[in-house]
Amino acid sequence: MSLKISPARSLPTAVDAIVLAVASDKCSDRALKARGLPVTALRTQGFTGAADQVAFVADSSGRSAIVIGAGASKSIDDNRLRRIGAQAVRSGSRSKRLGVDVLDLIEAGSASVKASSIRALAEGLVLGSYRFTEYRSDPKPAVLTAVSVAGVTGKAATDAFTQGLKIGEAQNFARDLVNRPGGDLTPAALAQEAVKLARRERLTIEVLNLAQIRRQKLGGLLGVNRGSTHEPRFVKITYTPRAPKGTLALVGKGITFDSGGLSIKTGEGMMTMKMDMGGAAAVLGCFAAIRAVAPKCKVVGYMPMTDNMSDGDATRPGDVLTIRNGTTVEVLNTDAEGRLVLADALSLATEDAPDAIIDLATLTGAVEIALGGRIAAVMSNNDAWLDDLETAAESAGERMWQLPLPADYRSFLDSDVADLRNISKSRGGGTITAGLFLQEFVGDNIPWAHIDIAGTAWSDADDAETTKGGTGYGVRTLLEVARTFTPRRR
């Protein structure tokens, strides 16, 4: 990356613009004047310190100043700092060197600014400066080349800052993977990215090719791959710390393009379907920063990879597949392919008997109908595990909301010919019945949570730390879950 983001004790003099933040309750004329800010210019722009406001002015020494509204002091948390970081680099993108002086928002005047806030701010700076230019013939270089952040002093603060940069970069890596076209990022290419990552981060990796996937009897993955000319892959990647305290399994859906198969999607419905490996991207993103976060637990990632196409021998509606764990599935809609490949992956994860499992998948269009594009759905077989996950997601600033897994809905998946059908007999609740389908492949005594990211893996608009296109949703939560993981007795 050409942008250099560095921590500093105080604001360097050699910057082209500075970024300050003002809380709405500290935005009186007197308070602004005391900070050397031009009251009239700010008021002309309607500046009140309300959250998300941005004003461009000059400070008392004539230097360009970007003033960001932080909202009410008592509402300022790490998520606000992450947002401000992103807003700083977005609004400062036309300057060459930027000085960011916003940490006074947290415990004003104190030398010991909270580490988690510094981490969140650093994440925001990296996330807000994301650009995807790989497919431009003539990408204009970014104007902004250096960002210096004042108020970061001492080892704890600098470490938190560096960790935040790493986490942001890991999420940007996931975004790159999601944004790459399905015709380029084939299953083999995605697996190759995982191999490169494993080398770089000193992780163990196993990549199964078609013959090995056959030998392992991954019938769901094979069934989905049957209509494709590209070989599938199954990637297992492992981080092992010294003296691991428990094992966390992460499963990610890796459909590199979802045409729907023979149950083909509309042209419109396919336009964003390169994002259908967003679950695998989030898992890989987590591994990209895992050394920086250094969890005490072992972390194992499982990623089934294929596209879902409709070549001459593609799986037909009515075909029956046998999943890794022996369960047979009648495929009545080839567009409900995610659950088929995840069934194999969850079976394999279960065989390894981890202390807990999380899967992430762009699984159902229904989740966006239910919760919109900014909130993922989460379902679980274990309340304590769900609680841990929700706590982690909250501090990571990724929103999710629980949906139930009602036992009586399970009968909607009863097949006339096989153990299960892959779509519900009932019209509504598509996100829930998909979750119930997955649950069939998880060991009863393993705490498991399923996150449906079909709405959140992609964004149609830029907004602070969120970028248009692939969002990298899930990377931060997974890292926070791993960082705080403690295996529970069960």
Q: Does residue 413 interact with ligand BES by CB under 6 A?
A: no
Q: Does residue 388 interact with ligand BES by CB under 6 A?
A: no
What residue is closest to Zn ion based on CB? 258
> Whose Cβ is closer to Zn ion: residue 39's or residue 332's?
332
> Whose Cβ is closer to ligand BES: residue 304's or residue 430's?
430
How many C-alpha atoms does 331 have within 13 Å on its Cβ side? 28
The CB-of-413 to Mn ion minimum distance in angstroms stands at 17
CB of 178 closer than 8 Å to CB of 129: no
Residue 333, binding choice from Mn ion, Zn ion, ligand BES, none, Cβ under 5 to 8 Å by partner class: ligand BES
Q: Does residue 335 interact with Mn ion by CB under 5 A?
A: yes
In three-state form (DSSP H/G/I as H, E/B as E, the rest C), the secondary structure along 94-119 is CCCEEEEECHHHCCCCCCCCCHHHHH
CA distances from 249 to 98, 357, 360, 439, 478 (A): 40, 5, 11, 15, 10
One residue of 307, 335, 355, 388 binding ligand BES per CB under 6 A: 335
State which of positions 441-470 bind ligand BES (CB under 6 A): 454
CB of 388 closer than 8 Å to CB of 413: no
DSSP result, 393-416: HHHHT--EEE----GGGGGGG--S
Q: Beta partners for 5?
A: 147
Antiparallel, parallel or unpaired: β 328-330 and 298-308: unpaired
Print burial letters for 220-231: b (CB count within 10 Å at least 16), e (below 16): bbbbbbbbbebb
- Contact footprint for Zn ion (CB under 5 A): 255, 258, 276, 338
265 is catalytic: yes
Quote the CA–CA distance of 445 and 143 in Å, as a whole number: 54
The CB-of-255 to Mn ion minimum distance in angstroms stands at 7
The one segment of 21-29, 250-258, 380-388, 414-422 that binds Mn ion by CB under 5 A: 250-258
Q: Does residue 364 interact with ligand BES by CB under 6 A?
A: yes
96 is catalytic: no
Q: Does residue 333 interact with ligand BES by CB under 6 A?
A: yes
Catalytic position from the list 35, 43, 131, 265: 265
Antiparallel, parallel or unpaired: β 328-330 and 320-322: antiparallel
Q: Does residue 176 interact with ligand BES by CB under 6 A?
A: no
Quote the CA–CA distance of 481 and 50 in Å, as a whole number: 32
Helix/strand/coil percent split, the chain, to 5: 40, 20, 40
The CB-of-308 to Mn ion minimum distance in angstroms stands at 6
280-319 mask for ligand BES (x: CB under 6 A)?
----------------------------------------
One residue of 365, 375, 418, 463 binding ligand BES per CB under 6 A: 365
> Whose Cβ is closer to Zn ion: residue 91's or residue 431's?
431
One residue of 350, 362, 439, 477 binding ligand BES per CB under 6 A: 362
Q: What are phi and psi of 379, to 5 degrees?
A: -130, 145
Instruction: Specify the 3-state DSSP secondary structure of 286.
Output: helix
The CB-of-283 to Mn ion minimum distance in angstroms stands at 19
Q: Does residue 337 interact with ligand BES by CB under 6 A?
A: yes
Work out the number of other CB atoms within 10 angstroms of the CB of residue 427.
7
Amino acid at position 212, single letter: Q
Q: Does residue 342 interact with ligand BES by CB under 6 A?
A: no
One residue of 220, 227, 338, 354 binding ligand BES per CB under 6 A: 338
Residues of the shown chain interacting with ligand BES in the complex, contacts defined by CB under 6 A: 258, 276, 333, 335-338, 362-366, 423, 430, 454
Residues of the shown chain interacting with Mn ion in the complex, contacts defined by CB under 5 A: 258, 335, 337
Active-site residue list: 265, 339
